[in-house]
Amino acid sequence: MYEYLKGTLVKITPTYIVLDVSGVGYLLHVANPYSFSNFVNADIKVYVHQVIRDDAHTLYGFMGETEKRLFLQLISVSGIGPKSALAIIAADDNIGLVTAIDSGDIKYLTKFPGVGKKTASQMVLDLERKFENVTTDVTTSQTVASTELDDALEALVALGYKATELKKVQKKLEGTQDSTEGYIKTALKLMMK
């Protein structure tokens, strides 16, 4: 129904952003809300996909068309819902995901939250050789603050990662300085090993 929304980014939380479009605030669930940090109070274009269920009408937002296409491909797989698809997108650089799918690397795919062997096999079966020229969308980072790591861990919990997984990663990240987005990317890479 919607292709994109153009408006002012007014709020960022660990699970969603709010985009003001002509006085109407749209809540958009996104893979990594902190990737929008440099755009607060700026006019931006966010690609969207609407999911309508009996109990909710939900909008999912994306930095670019490539990320949206990847999301749509992922939710077409039996066993992967929108929340899992966002977690997969947030956890990977997209190139690694496509490579794993095309090479049938089930072990790699089961490292994503909510993806077991059956779902990983289904991903390979449904999506093998369906991605062309998938590249990461350009994201930006922000200045470092002491709460950045806490925000990153909260966002990872919202994506479905368990506290026990995050404690191991937190120990490795404490004492380093990075943006929330940087911490999320680093934590996801560490958990994918």
115-138 pLDDT, tens digit each:
899 999 999 998 887 776 554 333
CB distance 128 to 155 below 8 Å: no
Kindly list the averaged pLDDT for each block of 10 residues, start to end, along the chain of length 193: 93 95 96 91 95 94 90 92 90 78 89 89 87 45 52 82 79 80 86 77
Angle between helices 65-75 and 82-91 (to 10 degrees): 130
CA distances from 25 to 77, 106, 155, 167 (A): 31, 40, 21, 35
Taken as a whole, the chain contains a residue count of 193
Kindly state the tokens that stand for 167. Answer: 């404690």
CB distance 151 to 34 below 8 Å: yes
Q: Measured between alpha carbons, how far is 131 from 26 in angstroms, rounded to an integer? A: 30
Whether this model's pTM surpasses 0.75: no
Q: Measured between alpha carbons, how far is 17 from 59 in angstroms, rounded to an integer? A: 10
Q: Measured between alpha carbons, how far is 155 from 13 in angstroms, rounded to an integer? A: 8
Q: Measured between alpha carbons, how far is 77 from 81 in angstroms, rounded to an integer? A: 8
pLDDT digits (tens, 9 = 90+) for 143-163: 333 478 878 888 888 888 877
SS3 43: strand
Q: State the residue for tokens 């006085």.
A: 23
